[in-house]
Structure 1
């Protein structure tokens, strides 16, 4: 599975999308530092919003195969300058979040991401699940099993084994 780094301003939906991709219950969590999961790197919005912290994003992007620029459909402006993707030596995709929001404008957000240089754009809603499967499919490589699905299977096998041992005592 290809590793992706999520970049975007605070409240763009990076952590919520991470939870949705992993199949976890959606709970609000303010990301305080860079979280490096199996195949997802979740970054604080302040890194993208603050000039002095932007360099850290460049460093962390070297650990990823794909850079995901997130833009909420309810944003009043784009955080990304035109053609910013051209300075990245990784594949860059755009991800429009909060597409279910009644005040959102997913088309406007997609236009801003295209202006930034994103050729591939995903429209996702962590709450309705729309677009999540497409993003996961895009990140998968042939024969991949998601790391968190593999961990669940191992846990289930351990519990089954433990249960069968209890019956033998």
Structure 2
């Protein structure tokens, strides 16, 4: 499976998405440092929010195959500069989180991700699992056997 690193501001849903992608029970956990999991690298939002810490994201992105730019549907602004995607030497996807929030605006978040340069964009609710399997399927490589693949073969 391709390894993904998640970038985004604090409270945009990176850690919750990580829990959903790993099939874990959702619980609040403030990410204090870079967390390496099997195929997911979860980063603190402060790294994207502070210029002095942002260079760490560039370094850690070399350990991943895919960079996921994460924007919540309830965010009032985007941290990502227009046309930033070409600056990364990895494949970049956009992820809109919290699509189940009534006050959310997923289309606005999508436009911000497009402006940043994302061509492939996923819409996710980590609580309802909507869109989670699509990300896992996207990260799947030839020869990977996913849990749902085993269910199909029984």
TM-score of the superposed pair, with normalisation by structure 1: 0.86
Which consecutive unaligned segments of at least 5 residues does structure 2 have?
148-154
Please identify which structure carries the higher helix content: 1
- Please state if 1:17 is matched with 2:17: yes
Paired position in structure 2 for 1:166 = none
Instruction: Select the structure of larger CA radius of gyration.
Output: 1
Paired position in structure 2 for 1:61 = 61
Q: How is 1:1-169 mapped onto 2 (pairs within 5 angstroms)?
A: 1-145=1-145
Counterpart-to-counterpart distance in 2, 1:21 and 1:63: 19
Which consecutive unaligned segments of at least 5 residues does structure 1 have?
150-169
Number of residues of Structure 1 aligned to a counterpart in Structure 2: 147
Shift in Å, 1:142: 1.5
Counterpart-to-counterpart distance in 2, 1:23 and 1:57: 25
1:98-152 deviation per Cα after TM superposition (whole angstroms, max 9, x unaligned): 0000000000000000000000000000001100010000000012135xx6xxx
SS in 1 for 2:101: coil
Counterpart-to-counterpart distance in 1, 2:119 and 2:87: 14
Counterpart-to-counterpart distance in 1, 2:142 and 2:134: 15
Runs ≥4 in structure 1, deviation > 2 angstroms?
A: none
